[in-house]
Amino acid sequence: MSTEVIMPQMGESIFEGTISKWLKSVGDRVDKDEPLFEISTDKVDAEIPSPVAGVLTEVKAQEGETVQVNTVVAVIDGAEGGPTQAVPAPKQSAAHVSPPAPEKVATEEKPLSEPVLPPEMPAEEKPSGKGGEQIRSSPLVRRLAKDNNVDLHQVEGTGLAGRVTKEDIMRHLSNPPTGKVTEGVSAAAVPSEPAGPEAVPIEEAGAPETELPEAGAATPEPSPGDLVPLSRMRSIIAKRMVESAHVSPHVYTVFKVDMSRIVQLREREKAGYEQRNGVKLTYMPFIAIAAIETLRKFPVVNASMENGSIRYHQNINLGIAVALEWGLIVPVVRQAEERSFLGLARAIADLAERARSKRLKPEEASGSTFTLTNSGIFGEEFGTPIINQPEAAILAIGGLTKEPVVLTGPDGNDTIAIRSVQHFSLGFDHRIMDGSDAGKFMRDFKKMLENWDREIG
């Protein structure tokens, strides 16, 4: 039995994708849900998993080729477990409809190929368990469970209809239930953050790195004199940056913030925090919470221009810019104002990990209303980033350093002390707000960080 692999539709507004890399060659064995090829679209770069197990017998679309959604790009033969059945497609909107299966013709010489939509985009499998119980989970979750010998029945699912999410299984691995420790799994078996050059570790929010990650088997560096065509993502970035610079009159204001209180709190709590919650205590949630709280006080900074009017957004959809080896992407924490400190920390860590591993969904990389970008990780004092359209502003996080600061005591006397300081730069659209709006926003943002008094969970 043959199975045709098609180009999935990665979102309602996406109608084509570019094959950026084949992860398997013709003749290779491939398991179900194992990454088969990588694609690049207007929204995301993503790995596409194999819908079935078998042998890759034909590649119909070559690397660099752009094809329409629902186009057959490969054929897999000899699926395990007998004749391959088509994976049930998820409920689809009018903009996401797979083509009807071809009319079956009876033949004994050549079994009919059945087009299959890769299940991770976004179909979910429900592996049956004890007593016929169904466990909802994604291919990534099932892969983590398999790699760590975890029975998904032992993991409490917090997603919709009891779905086991990545956060659930990571929390389970970090804190196995008493008396129910899965065989072969210990705290040391918890998967670490992916290493490699794929992404800036945005969670550290400006903390200086003494050593950048070593590059793995990356694309060879071009030699002087080479003419290298832009990748699809690079082309999109170039277009968007020119459009933003052309549309928005960019203005910047830079504030220096004394982060000593937060640095001391983090140093005191980080070990116990990760042990309790299964997520690292980094600086990014502190900055994100301060930005969210201040945006609620100054909604114009969370606005956007729309048909000659200003749209004041109901929710704060926080974009977190991530620098990848192959480009730039902005994952989005939706309705960030409704999340606790811990919930925000987990959401940011999850988005960062999936951005590095090319597993973001299109809707997770669009729709932001305000963006944080962390240029300080490379040692910059501050940056002047281009606004992520159609937003009104973008906040750049500078490097976290120590320097002498003059402090005035209650008695009016001045002293010099070593403090941890950080520069934050707000780039804003002068059509939407004035310098006074930006200044007031940054004043209150600075005050909240310097006088931090919130629970961190």
* 172 among known catalytic residues: no
DSSP class of residue 121?
S
* 313 among known catalytic residues: no
Backbone angles phi, psi at 436, to 5 degrees: -65, -40
Distance CA 203, CA 46 (A): 21
Share of the chain above pLDDT 70, in %: 72
With CA atoms as reference, report the closest residue to 215 among 232, 197, 202. 197
With CA atoms as reference, report the closest residue to 358 among 318, 389, 327, 320. 327
With CA atoms as reference, report the closest residue to 448 among 256, 289, 312, 277. 289
Distance CA 398, CA 346 (A): 22
Q: What is the pLDDT of residues 285-331, one digit of tens each?
A: 999 999 999 999 999 999 999 999 999 999 999 999 887 776 778 89
Q: Which of 258, 434, 444, 453 is catalytic?
A: 434
With CA atoms as reference, report the closest residue to 7 among 98, 114, 109. 98
When pLDDT is cut at 50, 70 and 90, the band that residue 11 belongs to is low
pLDDT of residue 41: 72
Q: 232-450 sits in which CATH class? A: alpha beta
9 versus 97: the higher-pLDDT residue is 9
User: Where are the domains positioned within the chain?
Assistant: 1-89+108-119, 124-191, 232-450
Q: What is the CATH number of domain 124-191?
A: 4.10.320.10
Pairing, β 370-374 against β 393-408 = parallel
Q: Which of 430, 437, 444, 453 is catalytic?
A: 430
Fold of the CATH domain 1-89+108-119: OB fold (Dihydrolipoamide Acetyltransferase, E2P) (2.40.50)
Range 166-192 average pLDDT: 48
